[in-house]
A and B are shown apart, each in its own frame.
Chain A
Amino acid sequence: MSEELVQPCARTTRRDALRNIAFGLTTLGGGSLTVEAAQHVHSAVAAERAAGPYRPKAFSEQQWVTLRRLVELIVPADAVSPSALDAGAPEFIDLLASQNPELARIYYGGFAWLDAEMRRRYGKPFASAKTEQQVAMLDALVEAERLLERHSAEEAIYRRGGTYKMFSRYTTQPGTPLAAGVRFFDWVRKMTVDAYYTSAVGIRDLGFVGNTVLSKYEVPVEVVEYALKRSPFGAR
């Protein structure tokens, strides 16, 4: 569980920051608020996490375990940063699904599809399959996704041709029995990626250093030189 998400209150509160701004920036000198200082997390999810293990609102225990495994495979930990589990991705998806029956249905259907496909392939549901099996399943979905993309690109070209109507039955075939799974995986992936890169760990992973208050804006000389040197224009 990430410290960033549950950190109750940093040194500078948002209100303080705003007051500083309102009273004129010159008092801040050349300094700026750091990510940590600007953090003032007071979210309901964070409060719940602090109170004990998170209890999913929209998902069953089985679905929750599956979701946690999926998000961890989508954004795993590496040398630079932790995984999507540490960025609150499962909680984010659960919260929104608990507020929106349409979104919940996408996930319920998707989990059921995934477990059925896994049983067909490996005789067990996703969450209790071996890592290689889980990875093989996701690889198959990504491969199917690329196939579907090619198909839709081809179809766009056919559509403009005069013979499209005649052959549209062929060109609109989905082309893969995994299409429903592809769509579900895309939902989990986009929401996981969103949760990850909007979290403190994700923002740090990217090296984003903005959202601060500055009294003067400057572009470091070495940055411009670095870009120019690597560009067709050469060094300044």
Chain B
Amino acid sequence: MTEQPFRMARGGFIDRKRRVTFRFDGRSFSGYEGDTLASALLAAGEHMVARSFKYHRPRGILGSGSEDPAALVQVGSGLAATEPNVRVTEQEIYEGLEVHPQNCWPSLKYDIGVVNDLFSAFLPAGFYYKTFMGPPGSWGVFESFIRKAAGLGLCPQEPDPDDYESLNRHCDVLVCGGGPAGLMAALTAARSGARVILAEETARLGGQLLSSDPEHLRVDGLAPAEWVEKIDAELRGFEEAMVLTRTTVCGYYADNFVALWERVSDHVAPGERDPVVPRQRLWRIRAKRVVLATGAIERPLVFHGNDRPGVMLARAARTYANRYGVLPGRKAVLFTNNDQAWRTAVTLHDAGADVPAIVDVRHEVRGSLLDQAASRNITVHLGTVVTGSSGRHRLRDVTVRALDGSGGVTGGETRIACDLLAVSGGLTPNVALFSQSRGRLVYDDALAAFRPGQSWQKEVSVGACNGTMSLEDSLSEATCRTVDVMKEVGLKAKPLKVPSISGSEFSSGAISALWEVPSGLPAKKVRAFVDLQSDVAAKDLRLAVAEGYDSVEHAKRYTTVGMGTDQGKTSSMNAFGVLSQARGVTMTELGVTTYRQPYKPVTFGALAGQHVGKLFQPRRTTPMHDWHVANGAVFDPVGDWLRPWVYRREGETHEDALMRECRAARESCAVLDASTLGKIDVRGPDAREFLNRVYTNAWSKIRSGQCRYGLMLGEDGMVMDDGVTACISDDHFHMTTTTGGAARVLGWLEDYLQTEWPDLKVYLTSVTEQWAVASICGPESGKLVAALCDGVDADPETFPFMSWKETAVDGVPARIFRVSFTGELSFEINVPADYGLWLWERIMETGAAHGIVPYGTEAMHLLRAEKGFIIVGQDTDGTVTPIDLRMGRIVKKKGDFIGKRSLFRSDTARANRKQLVGLLTDDPDVVLREGAHLIATSSEPAPPVPMLGHVTSSYMSPNIGRSIALALVQSGGERMGERLYATRADGPPVPVTVTETDFLAQREGADA
């Protein structure tokens, strides 16, 4: 077991009593509870943790949080619970944690992929695009290599074993970021009685306060962590305040809709996680106001050899020392262009590190800085830059040279041995969320960075993310702006007294922007990286500009800068700097790339939440469902509904069962669960007029007790839905729709009533699920209905086709409709849905004597096809008019209805449209493929093949005793008896004859 040689004797917010062991790259390590992988690995002296994406160069730990670009690992083992691209700077360690390096083979230190680095000259910016555009065939050559190289890490191969949850919350104020400004804002809001949510990305509140020197800094006389704890305790005392740690604000959307990603138990060993608590949560917050307190991100300096493990952001180095009690190096050089980074040299020195040099690009710095360095015997090199570094897997030394005042370097090279180079190119306000909210950014010369300019949504930025870098100003800004926000939401608030600060960190000071550090080397030899994850060097950006990619968005895509999983948190600002210089434009003229949601990668699990697996989607079932399941039903999904497709008996094939069901429907009796049919109660004095307008046929004369079939068209004249409507009383109708069309038709009819015809006195209410429906059909069905129902005479004379009766089944009130799905004698029994299962069981019991057989949707479709009855959505596809269906008889001549005018448009009225016809194959055993194209010739001519139409429904019909099909055929109505051919993928076209659609009538005609 490796020790922790770089662990400081004291300090840090770790629990030294709780030792934690974990494995990385096949080796065992130890750390303490409170450590991240990064701090624990650094404590062991491990800097190199990964390989870069393109060139497989060694990658170390640059940052200390979500900003780190390339310290990515695979966490967990097994095929299900493994997770790629986890930042070592964010993953907290727990006992037994398994971590694997990624993007390297066979191991982290000896990786074959390194050859890419040797060929880097052949992998220039825009490599993909150049191979796409290159000589013919070059893509083919490169593709297999590119595919292999694509992506970082391994996807889990098995279903995710963890639970996730999404949840919604509303609040007055959402505070994003639990640093000093965020704490101050949250407390100001909470004290005013607001509903406050405070989200902090890391495990602890405090932000930069936890990274500052606990011996020096005093906030209201308290050590920084004590002050944080005091605020935290007060916040938690408010009933309306909620503090979420380990929670990243990952997306800012319209109308202050903000997504928060909480890692609830990622820091706990899988075996110890609370099984009733999800692994991660997605909080969907609707906030009246948002306070952004997301701090600043330090950017590195872009110099030759800047990507070596051991090169670390200055603030990160300070964080490891003060927050985690880890000395990130024993011999540390600081390379900076601003004041605040000098604190790192002081901190590391005071923590026991040797600091041989501070290298500052500026020619002059404040005297107080020089005093601090002098008092510690730190050599200061002003007007000087780092021009190179060496060390294979870890930094060994750096070389420094003086700037020459005209963009180059001059003088001799000084080599300084070190194992850590702390770098700082300045602090960039973290404007990602502000920019996601669509606010406009403004370039700030003093910061050499963009900061929030003009807001679009109801948010304010406070503290470092607003460019306010000093602690005092930050706290004051946070409380004052939060007070304004509280007033906007109608709450009284007072600004809090700003705590007194002593021993503050150095403020940012004057920055000397230096977007690319000169090295004195020939341009070709310089490897100065801007993006450490995607391996984009400064020269790649210049190449993009040289090749014409002027727009910052184009240059980004061409070079992939900032396109990795880190979203360019440390690289974008430097890339903008290099691009603006290459193009000779100002930063404002150059503009920025788009900050998109999510702020950092979010697991799919969290986004899907609890709505997965069996809870993915509602499955609607009828009251008779359990009977169907118990009796061999195979189900057909129709919208969200599950309908019996066919009932299979022991030993039967699907075909057997289907044939049996279809024969029973025509020879004895059969029953269909038709409960899913849409049902709409239509009521009002203008109900008839309403029906006249929505159906193609006439409804003025229908009398109570009668039923009528109707077609509904869209305004384009195309068939949209069909169904039978019964007249309950003069002003009261019971309309039915297709199962799939139920919700759409009701919404559509309501739309017309509310918007086009508000003068019509009609009310519509869905009663789809009020009624359970059993549709009994077959020659025996009349006898069965008479036996079932109280006082119903099923004699066709007294209970004619297309009529209905109010009755009862053994005392249960029922409506019986003598309508037919199948063309056979049929009765639809409707009872209140709670009685549905009882009714069904009673039908089966009573029907046994009549040979009753339950049938499913497949048989229903087949039976309808035998009779030439259409199925909307199968025989129609939104391009078919009633005339095309040759159902012109139910299109009224007088009076308007929806879609009528469209039937006379030149295209709709033309004679050679496709029309619905029957098809009979020469060979009665051949069943055509649904969708097969119809042509006029017995063999397929050379393309383009003239298509005459296509098959819409096709079955082997047991009742006709042969195959049958329906088809839409050009001028079909005029082709009766004509010979056509149906194409096949696997053989010559099948000869067919065009017929009428009612196959039953044709058979009877033939029999007669």
A binds B: no
